[in-house]
Amino acid sequence: MCTNETGQVHSWSRTSVLIKYRKLRVTVSYCTRTVSVTDQASLVVTSSVSLLCHLFSVCAKAKTRFMELSGRGVFLTGGAQGIGRAITTALLDKGAKVLFCDVNADIGKATEAELQKQCGADNVMFQQCDVTNADQLKAAFDQAVTKFGAVEICCNNAGIMDETIWEKMLAINTTAQIRGSQIALDHMRRDKGGRGGVIVNTVSIAGLLPGHELPVYIASKHAMIGYTTSCARDPEVAGQGVRWCCLCPMPVNTGMLQLKEGQVKTADQFMQKMQPLMIEPEDVVKAFMTLVQDTENNGSMMVVNKVQGGVYKRRMLVDDDGQSNPMLIDNPLTAHPPVPGPSQ
């Protein structure tokens, strides 16, 4: 409390307000000046201005957590049907521009025609491409860059589940996703003149669990968890300005699960086990949108299940004392800070 030269008595008091928005918790502190009655107008002005300034900085902080999608260029593989098509549709709805590729030209062209009708011919484009062919994959990505000016979101999504052609499965599910990631990083990285962005690899819950019916599929997906989360930990990632994320759905009701005997061991029994866990492509889309738009999730995995929807996970080898046996645990992202990453 003080007295100024005109004899007015005033004192400063500090007020704190906790604002909660989804997972965001922000404490706003502001100062109010209590003065004599004759200075009441000045009290109102002082307090309001102070509060507005703080609120403005809070809003600015909240905004940096969220990636706007409107006008962003997207490259997505395996987009003719299933999860890839659902993601493409959702991104277009948010105003993004998508080039999707697929090995299946008939379904790809039909999907392109439908989506162009809904969202405009300039916003979506199909390119036939076998992702296991490095030249075709690069050419398709380059076409997206030419069409949209830049690609800021890359979804390596194409995949198959067929143990009878396991080498091809590894080539599609793993090698091509790694190559797609490398092509995207080269183009997007800010430290080499790119705009930054996010690489989302469609992995699976199969990347986090063993499964005796489909060991090579499981291996192909475990590899992508290892690759994606390792890239996220590169010390250069902040300068590159590119986030890395894994989308890990439970079984999804798509053509991929129309399995013939041999594609997985004991296919009928396997499908009986999967049936109660099955989710729809739209469930995956909701989780994908969170994953792609949350700018503070570098290195995260999002599991998508029937009960909770999208749930962040962080896989960690815990070896606290350096003596006990290390233990692998999956923790929600919120329980541990994310890997420091770029801002967008």
Per CB under 6 A, residues contacting ligand NAD are 77-78, 80-84, 102-104, 129-132, 157-160, 172, 202, 204, 249, 251-252, 254-257
Task: Return the SS3 of 67.
Answer: coil
Distances (CA, A) of 59 to 26, 66, 179: 10, 11, 38
- Residue 190 φ/ψ, nearest 5 degrees: -70, -35
* 159 vs 342 by CB, closer to ligand NAD: 159
Least Å distance, CB 294 to ligand NAD, is: 20
Residue 81 in contact with residue 255, Cβ under 8 Å? yes
Least Å distance, CB 158 to ligand NAD, is: 4
* 69 vs 303 by CB, closer to ligand NAD: 303
Residue 29 in contact with residue 14, Cβ under 8 Å? yes
DSSP assignment of 205-229:
GGGTS--TT-HHHHHHHHHHHHHHH
Least Å distance, CB 253 to ligand NAD, is: 7
How far is it, in rounded angstroms, from Cα 183 to Cα 98?
A: 17
* 170 vs 316 by CB, closer to ligand NAD: 170
* 102 vs 296 by CB, closer to ligand NAD: 102
Work out the widest C-alpha separation in the chain, in whole angstroms: 92
Dihedral sign (CA 336, 309, 292, 103): positive
Instruction: Give residues with Cβ within 8 angstroms of 104, minimum separation 6.
Output: 80, 81
The alpha helices in 23-133, defined as continuous H runs, are 40-64, 82-93, 105-119
Q: Which listed residue (21, 30, 217, 312) is catalytic?
A: 217
Active site residue 217: yes
* 155 vs 232 by CB, closer to ligand NAD: 155
Least Å distance, CB 74 to ligand NAD, is: 16
Least Å distance, CB 87 to ligand NAD, is: 9
Least Å distance, CB 295 to ligand NAD, is: 24
* 45 vs 277 by CB, closer to ligand NAD: 277
Residue 30 in contact with residue 51, Cβ under 8 Å? yes
Residue 39 in contact with residue 8, Cβ under 8 Å? yes
Dihedral sign (CA 285, 117, 108, 144): negative
List the catalytic residues: 217
